[in-house]
Amino acid sequence: MANKAYKFRIYPNAEQKILLAKTFGCCRFVYNHWLDRKIKQYKNDKTSVTYTTCAKEMAQLKKTSEFSFLQEVDSVSLQQSLRHLDTAFQNFFRQPKNGFPRFKSKKQSKNSYSTVCINRNIDIENGCIKLPKIGLVKLKQHRKIPVDYKLKSVTISQTPSRKYYVSILFEYEKQVQNKELLSFLGLDYSMHELYKDSNSNEPAYPRYYRSAEKKLAKEQRKLSHMQKGSSNRNKQRIKVAKLHEKVADQRKDFLHKLSRQIANAYDCICIEDLNMKAMSRYLHFGKSVSDNGWGMFTAFLKYKLEEQGKRLIRVDKFFASSQTCNVCGYKNNATKDLSIREWDCPQCGTRHDRDVNAAINIKNEGMRMLLA
C-alpha cells in the first residue's frame, strides 16, 4: 500500500471561517498546554509524559467549565495535535539536530490542523468537502481522484494571505513495475540556470524572486512604516503575503512542468547529493539558492520517476565532477576556482564547458553506481 496527497483550495463561508479559526486556536492551545506539561514534568523528576496520558488528561480537562470550549471543535483534531507533539519529541530525542519542540505563537501567519477520516465523517461530494464540525465547504477540485483511492486524513491550512487549502491523504494499492533503465541524463546544479544537463541543455530558469524583488521591497517598505495593530497595516501585510505567494506559485508551477518533461523523457536521472540549506546559509548567494528551488525540483523529480518505475541516483557531493575530464579521466585541480567556466584538458586537449563536463561525469558515475 502507498499514500498520495492532493491539495485543493476551499472557500468557507463566514460562519465556517469562525469555526475554522476556533479549531486552529484550540489545536494550538492543546499543543502548547501539553508541551508546557511535558517540560515541567521532565524538569521535576526526569520522566516523560506519554501520548496516552496526555489524551486521558485532555478528556478530563474538556469536562471542566473553564475548558469546555474544547468540546466545540472536532475532537480528533485535538488528538492529532497531541500526536504531532509526541512525534516532535520523538524526533528530537532520535536526532537532536531536528530541534526541541517550540510553542506555537498566536500571531503566526499560517494556521493548520489535521483530522482523520472515521466512519465517512470526511467525504467529497458535489463539489464540496464534508469536514467534522464544519460541514460542507466549497471545494475547487482541479483533478479527478481515482475511485480505488481510500481517504485517510485531511489537513486544513490558512495561508498568510487568508486563503484556505485542504490537503487530502489517500491510500491506494501500489503496483509499479520497475522499468529497464535505458536512457540516462546527468544534471549539474547551476546557480542561475537551475542546472545544465549532460546533453548541453539548460532550462533558462526565469528567476521569479529576482524579477519581483523591487516590487516586494517597495511594498515591504510601506509595511514597515505603518503603525502596528492598525487595519491599514493588516491590509498591507496581506498584500505583501500575496506577492510572496505569487512568486512561490510561479516557481512551483515551473518546476512541476519541467520535472514532468524530464521524468517522461528519461529512465534514470543522476544528480549530485548537495546540501542546499548549508549552501544558502554559509555562502554569499543565499537568495539565488532559494530562488531556483533545486531541492523542490529534485523532490518533484524523485516521486515522478518512482511513479513510473524509474530511478533518481544521487552521486556523492565530494565526487570531483567539475575537475575530472570526462574523456580521459585527467583530474585538473586548477578548476577548483569557480571563476573558470571553460578549460582545456592538459592530457587529451579536449575543451570543456565546466557545467556540461560535470553533468557528463555525474551521469557516468551514476551509471557506475547502478552496476556496482
- Give pLDDT tens digits for 254-264: 999 999 999 99
pLDDT tops 70 at residue 284: no
Rounded CA gap, 209 and 197, in Å?
A: 23
pLDDT greater at residue 114 or residue 106: 114
42 or 372, greater pLDDT: 42
* Among the listed residues 264, 263, 255, 363, the one whose alpha carbon sits nearest the alpha carbon of residue 314: 363
* Residue 93: predicted pLDDT: 86
Quick check: 271 and 314 in contact, CB under 8 A?
Answer: yes
Instruction: Tell me the per-residue pLDDT of 132-160, one tens digit each, with 9 for 90 and over.
Output: 999 999 999 988 998 889 999 999 999 99
Confidence of residue 349 (pLDDT cuts 50, 70, 90): confident
Report whether pLDDT(99) > 90: no
The confidence score (pLDDT) of residue 204 equals 84
Q: Please answer whether residues 285 and 241 qualify as being in contact, where contact means their C-beta atoms are separated by less than 8 angstroms.
A: no
Mean pLDDT of the chain: 90
The CA-CA-CA angle for residues 204, 205, 211, to 5°, reads: 125
Pick 184-207+248-371's CATH classification: 1.10.3470, 3.30.420, 3.90.320, 2.70.98: 3.30.420
Domain ranges of the chain: 2-172, 184-207+248-371
What amino acid positions are annotated as catalytic residues?
A: 188, 272, 355
pLDDT value of residue 281:
67
For 166-200, what is each residue's pLDDT tens digit? 999 999 887 778 888 999 999 999 888 889 999 98
Determine the Cα–Cα distance for residues 205 and 251; give it in Å rounded to an integer: 9
From residue 171, how far is each of 55, 67, 128, 133, 297 by CA, in Å? 26, 35, 20, 24, 24
